[in-house]
């Protein structure tokens, strides 16, 4: 089930990571506007520092607040429903994991990127789940997941996910078995791809 | 990281020439503490914020990885910029009152500033400047009304001027919005012993606004003598 794909992970909505980078660049500009104001105060430098810089700062704070609230909401989500269009990225490899996803309808593909190559690990359907590995390991997401068809997922926050594992032993065993299988398959795939790249 | 921030906050301002701009050169009794320490503190906050954000961008690249990255992010994007905005606003009000600042905007004002600081000029503005009748911020003191509302009016008018200057919507020749108000002379001179002695005949008329200071002083002793 290993397929080389060339299509980039496209999404109309950039990940929270890029929003945070943007917010920090806005603040960087706002702080930099303070230096000419301090070192050579003119009408222009004073106007930029007293009018434009606060505006940039408040926009940046708004972005960080939005990311923080969104992160908190996801972390404590209790099966809230989210919809994704085809090609939309649901989770990104390398980002921190704060929730697990249970597919209600539609189809998604799990894509792992290594050494510039993107490999489709598996296709998941309604009834499957993903995003659980990062919650259990505490590591960043090991793969990206992209919707192939219009998809609805139920989102379970990290805290509720871990509580569910504690409260329902049968679910815990089922999920741990799935995690083990997926991890072993990922290792086999990465070994195979490293051998092929050595050849 | 902590040591670097401490260095930024306390040592860097001392290495820069910020004190030269923080206060007019002069004796200690002319030191404006808000301006002096505010400039240093603001520079420290700006440098610390820039260093912290660059560190964040290089180290985390927008990722949130645990409480430390949240701490750095909130300090760099929320705490330090808010502090710089608050201290900055204090300094904005303070620095906007200086003669150099008034003269920095319009080329047309340079002639007025030159006359003001010309020790040979006998204009009212120059007399007030060279005799230190007004010790600091001479443009601001004469051209704003008394009290808090005078300051607020001056700031609003100044921001409108800046807007007009940068959008090139001003009209030449530059003119005062309204004739100079006698109140802005009287706020200092009224009831002074010397003033009362010399204005016995017109004192009441001046205080009630029936006549104005510049009716006599405008021609005999103009506020500014412009050579060009």
For tokens 């409108």, the residue is B160
Distance of alpha carbon B99 from alpha carbon A146, whole angstroms: 62
DSSP letter at B181? Answer: P
Which tens digit of pLDDT belongs to each residue from A59-69? 999 999 998 88
Give B113 or A192, the one with higher predicted confidence.
B113
Give yes or no for A55 touching B (CB within 8 A): no
Q: CB–CB of B81 and A23 under 8 A?
A: no
The pLDDT value recorded for residue A68 is 87
Query: Within this chain, do residues A59 and A135 fall inside the same structural domain, yes or no?
Result: no
Which tens digit of pLDDT belongs to each residue from B5-50? 555 554 454 444 444 444 455 566 767 777 888 889 999 999 999 9
Q: Choose among A18, A21, A35: nearest Cβ to B46.
A: A35
Query: Within this chain, do residues A41 and A95 fall inside the same structural domain, yes or no?
Result: no
Q: Are B102 and B142 in contact (CB under 8 A)?
A: no
Scanning every residue of chain A, which has its alpha carbon at the shortest distance from the alpha carbon of B63? A17
Query: Within this chain, do residues A108 and A168 fall inside the same structural domain, yes or no?
Result: yes
- Residue A9 falls within a domain, yes or no? no
Query: Within this chain, do residues A48 and A111 fall inside the same structural domain, yes or no?
Result: no
Least confident range from A72-81, A107-116, B193-202: namely A72-81
Of A3-12, A60-69, B175-184, where does the model show the most confidence? A60-69
Three-state DSSP class for A107?
coil
Among A14, A43, A66, which would you mutate to test the B interface (most chain B Cβ atoms within 10 Å of its Cβ)?
A43
Query: Within this chain, do residues A124 and A166 fall inside the same structural domain, yes or no?
Result: yes
Q: CB–CB of B61 and A47 under 8 A?
A: no
- Residue A164 falls within a domain, yes or no? yes
Q: Total structural domains in chain A? A: 2
Among B40, B52, B95, which would you mutate to test the A interface (most chain A Cβ atoms within 10 Å of its Cβ)?
B95
Give A5 or B25, the one with higher predicted confidence.
B25
Residue A86: which pLDDT band, with cuts at 50, 70 and 90?
very high
Q: Are B115 and B123 in contact (CB under 8 A)?
A: yes
Q: CB–CB of B21 and A71 under 8 A?
A: no
Q: CB–CB of B105 and A38 under 8 A?
A: no
Is the model's pLDDT at A75 over the cut of 80?
Answer: no
Is the model's pLDDT at A139 over the cut of 90?
Answer: no
Q: CB–CB of B88 and A28 under 8 A?
A: no
Query: Within this chain, do residues A37 and A106 fall inside the same structural domain, yes or no?
Result: no
Q: How far is B155 from chain A (nearest CA, A)?
A: 11
Task: Tell which residue, B72, B70, B35, has the closest CA to residue B56.
Answer: B72
The pLDDT value recorded for residue A177 is 86
The pLDDT value recorded for residue B6 is 52
- Residue A8 falls within a domain, yes or no? no
Q: CB–CB of B73 and A94 under 8 A?
A: no
Is the model's pLDDT at A98 over the cut of 70?
Answer: yes
Scanning every residue of chain B, which has its alpha carbon at the shortest distance from the alpha carbon of A26? B77
The full set of domain ranges for chain B reads: 2-95, 105-220
- Residue A109 falls within a domain, yes or no? yes
Is the model's pLDDT at B102 over the cut of 50?
Answer: yes
Q: Choose among B50, B56, B101: nearest Cβ to A31.
A: B50
* Dihedral (CA of B116, B119, B120, B124) sign: positive
Q: What is the CATH number of the domain that holds A87?
A: 2.60.120.10
Distance of alpha carbon A181 from alpha carbon A187, whole angstroms: 10
Q: What is the mean pLDDT of residues B82-110?
A: 83
Distance of alpha carbon B169 from alpha carbon A111, whole angstroms: 57
Distance of alpha carbon B158 from alpha carbon B102, whole angstroms: 9
Query: Within this chain, do residues A57 and A100 fall inside the same structural domain, yes or no?
Result: no
A35 contacts on B by Cβ (under 8 Å): 43, 46
Query: Within this chain, do residues A90 and A185 fall inside the same structural domain, yes or no?
Result: yes
Query: Within this chain, do residues A188 and A95 fall inside the same structural domain, yes or no?
Result: yes
The pLDDT value recorded for residue B17 is 46
Give B59 or B25, the one with higher predicted confidence.
B59
Give yes or no for A39 touching B (CB within 8 A): yes
Q: Choose among B81, B159, B165: nearest Cβ to A31.
A: B81
What's chain B's average pLDDT? 80
Q: How far is B21 from chain A (nearest CA, A)?
A: 6
Residue B146: which pLDDT band, with cuts at 50, 70 and 90?
confident
Query: Within this chain, do residues A61 and A84 fall inside the same structural domain, yes or no?
Result: no
Give A66 or A9, the one with higher predicted confidence.
A66
Query: Within this chain, do residues A82 and A56 fall inside the same structural domain, yes or no?
Result: no
- Residue A4 falls within a domain, yes or no? no
Residue B1: which pLDDT band, with cuts at 50, 70 and 90?
low
Give B28 or A182, the one with higher predicted confidence.
A182
- Residue A96 falls within a domain, yes or no? yes
The pLDDT value recorded for residue A18 is 85
Q: What is the mean pLDDT of residues B137-153?
A: 81
A37 contacts on B by Cβ (under 8 Å): 88, 91-92, 95
Query: Within this chain, do residues A39 and A101 fall inside the same structural domain, yes or no?
Result: no
Residue B129 CB-density burial (10 A; 0-12 exposed, 13-18 middle, 19+ buried): buried
The pLDDT value recorded for residue B5 is 53
Query: Which residues span the domain enclosing A183?
Result: 77-198
DSSP letter at B109? Answer: G
Scanning every residue of chain B, which has its alpha carbon at the shortest distance from the alpha carbon of A23? B77
Of A9-13, A23-27, B128-132, B170-174, where does the model show the most confidence? A23-27
Residue A5: which pLDDT band, with cuts at 50, 70 and 90?
very low
């Amino acid at each position: 089930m290993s397929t080389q794909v060339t299509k980039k992970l496209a999404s109309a909505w950039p990940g929270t990571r890029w929003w945070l980078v943007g917010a920090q660049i806005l603040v960087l500009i706002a702080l930099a506007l303070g230096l000419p104001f301090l070192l050579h105060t003119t009408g222009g430098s004073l106007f930029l520092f007293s009018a434009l810089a606060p505006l940039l700062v408040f926009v940046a704070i708004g972005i960080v607040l939005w990311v923080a609230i969104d992160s908190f909401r996801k972390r404590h989500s209790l099966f809230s429903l989210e919809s994704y269009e085809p090609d939309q990225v649901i989770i990104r490899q390398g980002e921190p994991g704060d929730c697990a996803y249970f597919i209600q309808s539609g189809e998604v593909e799990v894509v792992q990127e290594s050494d510039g190559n993107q490999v489709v690990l598996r296709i998941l359907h309604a009834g499957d789940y993903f995003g659980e590995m990062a919650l259990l390991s505490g590591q960043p997401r090991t793969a990206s997941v992209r919707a192939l068809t219009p998809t609805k997922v139920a989102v379970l926050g990290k805290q509720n996910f871990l509580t569910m594992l504690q409260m329902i032993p049968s679910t815990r065993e089922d999920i741990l078995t799935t995690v083990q299988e997926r991890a072993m398959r990922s290792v086999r795939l990465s070994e195979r791809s490293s051998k092929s790249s050595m050849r | 990281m902590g040591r670097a921030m401490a260095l930024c906050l306390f040592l860097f301002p001392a290495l820069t020439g910020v004190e030269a701009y923080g206060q007019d050169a002069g004796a200690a009794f002319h030191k404006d503490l808000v301006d002096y320490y505010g400039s240093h503190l603001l520079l420290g906050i700006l440098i610390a914020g820039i260093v912290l954000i660059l560190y964040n961008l290089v180290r985390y690249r927008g990722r949130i990885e645990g409480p430390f990255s949240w701490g750095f992010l909130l300090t760099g994007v929320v705490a330090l910029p808010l502090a710089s905005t608050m201290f900055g606003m204090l300094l904005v009000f303070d620095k906007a009152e200086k003669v150099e600042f008034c003269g920095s905007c319009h080329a047309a004002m340079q002639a007025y500033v030159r006359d003001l600081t010309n020790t040979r000029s006998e204009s009212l503005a120059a007399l007030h400047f060279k005799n230190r009748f007004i010790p600091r911020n001479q443009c601001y003191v004469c051209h704003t009304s008394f009290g808090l509302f005078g300051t607020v009016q001056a700031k609003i008018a100044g921001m409108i001027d800046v807007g007009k200057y940068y959008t090139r919507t001003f009209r030449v020749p530059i003119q005062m919005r309204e004739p100079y108000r006698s109140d802005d002379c009287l706020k200092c001179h009224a009831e002074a012993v010397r003033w009362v002695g010399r204005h016995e005949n017109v004192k009441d008329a001046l205080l009630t606004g029936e006549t104005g200071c510049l009716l006599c002083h405008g021609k005999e002793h103009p506020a500014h003598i412009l050579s060009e």
